[in-house]
Amino acid sequence: MLQLKILFRNAFHNKLRSGLTILGITVAVLAFGLLRTVIGAWYAGVDAASASRLVTRNAISIIFPLPIAYNEKIRQIAGVKLVSYGNWFGGIYVNEKNFFPNFCVEPRTYMAIYPEFVLSPPEKKAFFSDRKGFVAGRKLAARFGWKIGDQVTLKGTIFPGNWDFVLRGIYRGRDQTVDETQFFFHWDYLNETMKRVSPGRAEQVGFYMITVARPDLAPDVALSVDRAFKNSLAETLTETEKAFNQGFIAMSGAIVTAIQMVSFVVILIIMAVVANTMAMTTRERIGDYAIMKTLGFGGGSIAVMIFGESLVIALTGCLTGMILTFPAAKAFGQALSNFFPIFIVSAETLWLDLLAAFLIAFFAAIIPARHAVRVGIAEGLRRIG
Amino acid sequence: MAIPLSYSMRNLWKRRLTTILTVSGMALVVFVFAAVLMMAAGLQKTLVETGSDDNVVVVRKGSTSEVMSGIDRRQASIVEMLPQVAIGGEGRRLVAKEVVVLIALPKRGAGNSNVVVRGVQEASIPLRPQVKLVAGRLFRMGSSEIIVGNSIAKGFTGVGLQGTLNWGMRKWTVVGIFDAGNTGFSSEIWGDVDQVMQAFRRPVYSSLIFKLNNPAAFPASKTAIETDPRLTLEAKQETRYYLDQSEMMAKFLRILGLSLTVIFSIGAIIGAMITMYSAVANRIGEIGTMRALGFRRRSILAAFLAESLLLGVIGGGTGLFFASFMQFITVSTVNFQTFSELAFKFTLTGRIVLQAMTFSLVMGFIGGMLPALRASRMKIVDALRAA
């Protein structure tokens, strides 16, 4: 108990210096927490993906379509429960800065495959029965102030022209890991228009979504789907939704790695700052240590004192930073909701924060502790001078 | 009279451990700052060098990249006959009708990535003087032969010389590797346009590139293309076209870099502040003596500020020194805007050096200001007594 008291007294002996150091650690832990959360947000799509859903797309690459005729063939494959299909539409709302994901899908099956998009029965019915209707996520509708019945026009980039839609429903996520910024409309609307304007591009879909009867059937079903279309003009590649989303992240892997590396650099920076503080503190207190040694304290207890002091400072800063991470992540998430629809501080991040604090405390105290343990009594006392 | 700079320098030397720790904190911040800016600059440089000023790219109206665009043969031949098109060696028009598609290829190390396959015509090669064959030979028109850019040959598996790729129910043989320097073409695969269109069942071209007979003729050709009621196309100068493609990524990198370094610099400034406060506290007696000798308050202020700025200079220099080694590293990632693979190098420009040094001086200044003020405000008697 007495030792703990000494640790705190020592740590806050020089209020200005410890205050500054704690502030520095707070900022570093805050930055570290936010960066980890950004990486988590990047992977949010992977975590939210279900293991019993498969995505089938053209084997050459995602930009090539598949014929709609595959729908019936996929449905016949054993183990397949539901099949839906759709296209990435890539429309722009007013201008390019207002980016949000927009897809055309076959609505009935798609909503059945994605139970996490919750839509009230009347809204669902209204959406299904209006070919020009669309549904938007809660956050997306709030962002542009859309209300049910509003007309919205998207400018097509892949499918040229201006496309008019009517908002028929606003979906909510089943829980907070569901992306509420998407925009869905009828595949039929796109297809009927393409038949008229450019018949060569009609009757095609960008991807098929499949649910399997049991998750353990997924690998077999994926193989049978791909085998069914082997040696055809449009060969398919089927993988679980998780692997599909992972593939997208792997493409921007260099950036994720960079952010990851940077999040460790901030810990290194603050380690240098804390080490500096500890070095100065022990240098000033070398006389005290000499007196303690004269009184009979061993080098071990002096080292414990220095490590303890370093730990008190690091943990105080770390806890403040952890508490501040939550409001900061909330503000950050709101500002960047277009890029990262899901922005949640994970428990893992908090554990890493704590681990970082311990590492900082430990490495910062090594050199000063070694110095204090080694210094001779006479030499230490002389310095008081 | 000013206190000599050597006083500040010797003080830093006297307390080496503290100086090294403070400087390394600052150096890390400057390193991150410079590295992110270098990445953005490298990306932009690569895409800008890809374009050439007197080339014009024609794509379908509203499409932001060649992959999304489509130009049918009738429209293409109208553009081909524009009077602004330059005439090449054998009296041929310098126009290339190209098709651009993305294919997924296995990347060395991890996963698949999207690679641009560009179907080109004979005129495409004189239009891109940066492209030079480094191994093998050029593909023969009318055959299933392809050549690959060196970034692709290095970064992906199965695309070396004599490697084969399968798509469109055909086997394609790699017969050559080309080097296009620091440009986007180094991350592409080229083949005969008619063969590529046939294999992918694409009846339309993606884009049309032509050389202007006179660089000043661009506005005239643009008006001719965009006002012709038979055409639904738009024309962009090639440099502009590629610059637009780098905009989103470069902006993302810059914003990321700036917000990160601002947060990080708080840590480094605090480090400098702690160091300088203790430098002042340890030297109260000295300050009193100097004041008694007749040095003015502002000389004391200047001496401590100089010490802190020196910390900044050393930190900035060290950070830049290590950041300059990043220039040997090539990053290969997907450009969000075109959704295709692009390799680029970290590039250190004079502007970045200047920005990084200014940044670290500012850190030193902010960190040193308060402690230096405290030192200069001390009363002579108090300072001498404290010693």
Per-residue pLDDT of chain B in tens (387 residues, 90 and over written 9): 678 888 888 888 888 888 898 899 899 989 989 988 898 888 888 888 888 888 999 998 877 788 888 898 999 999 998 888 998 878 888 999 999 988 888 888 767 788 899 999 988 988 998 899 999 999 999 999 999 999 899 888 888 888 898 877 789 999 999 998 888 899 999 999 999 998 888 888 999 999 998 888 899 999 999 998 888 888 999 988 888 888 777 887 888 788 778 888 888 898 889 888 888 888 888 888 988 998 889 999 999 999 999 999 999 999 999 999 998 888 877 777 777 888 888 899 999 999 999 999 999 999 999 999 989 988 888 888 876
pLDDT at A81 over 80: yes
Cβ–Cβ below 8 Å for A60 and B103: yes
How many Cβ pairs closer than 8 A exist between chain A and B?
145
Q: Is B112 on the interface with A (CB under 8 A)?
A: yes
pLDDT band for position A383 (cuts 50, 70, 90): low
Q: Is B258 on the interface with A (CB under 8 A)?
A: no
State which amino acid sits at residue A125: K
Chain B: closest CA distance from residue A173 (Å): 26
Cβ–Cβ below 8 Å for B114 and A61: yes
CA atoms within 13 A on the CB side of B24: 16
Query: Which residues of B are less than 8 Å from A367 in CB distance?
Result: 17
Chain A: closest CA distance from residue B162 (Å): 20
Cβ–Cβ below 8 Å for A61 and B63: no
List alpha helices for chain A, DSSP H: 2-11, 15-42, 44-48, 70-76, 107-113, 121-129, 138-144, 187-197, 218-228, 241-251, 253-284, 286-295, 299-335, 347-374, 377-382
Cβ–Cβ below 8 Å for B264 and A266: yes
Using N-to-C axis directions, what is the helix angle for A253-284 and A299-335, rounded to 10°? 140
Q: Is B21 on the interface with A (CB under 8 A)?
A: yes
Query: Which residues of A are less than 8 Å from B114 in CB distance?
Result: 61-63, 251
Chain A: closest CA distance from residue B282 (Å): 9
Cβ–Cβ below 8 Å for A262 and B63: no
What's the burial of A268, exposed, middle or buried (CB within 10 Å: 0-12/13-18/19+)?
middle
pLDDT at residue B382, as a whole number: 85
C-alpha separations of B122 from A115, A235, A264, B147 in Å: 53, 31, 50, 14
**Domain assignments of chain A as residue spans, ordered by start:** 2-44+253-382, 60-234
Query: Which residues of A are less than 8 Å from B104 in CB distance?
Result: 59-62, 237
Query: Which residues of B are less than 8 Å from A64 in CB distance?
Result: 101, 200
pLDDT at A122 over 90: yes
Residue carrying structure tokens 């089938």: A56
What is the number of other CB atoms lying within 10 angstroms of the CB of residue B53? Answer: 12
Query: Which residues of A are less than 8 Å from B339 in CB distance?
Result: 63
Q: Which residues pair with A21 in a beta bridge?
A: none
DSSP B109: S
- Identify the residue among B116, B245, B270, B318 best suited for mutation to test binding to A, counting A beta carbons within 10 A and taking the highest: B270
Given the cut 0.85, state whether the ipTM is greater than it.
Answer: no
Give the mean pLDDT of A277-299.
86
Window A:227-286, CB contacts with B under 8 Å = 231, 233, 237, 246-247, 250-255, 258-259, 262, 265-266, 268-270, 272-273, 275-277, 279-280
Closest-CA residue to A185 (of A118, A125, A132, A109):
A132
Average pLDDT for chain A: 88
Cβ contact B357:B314 at 8 Å: no
pLDDT band for position A385 (cuts 50, 70, 90): very low
Q: Of the candidates B103, B201, B256, which has its C-beta nearest A61's C-beta?
A: B103
pTM of the model: 0.80
First CA to last CA distance, chain A: 32
**Domain assignments of chain B as residue spans, ordered by start:** 5-48+245-386, 62-231
Cβ contact B159:B172 at 8 Å: no
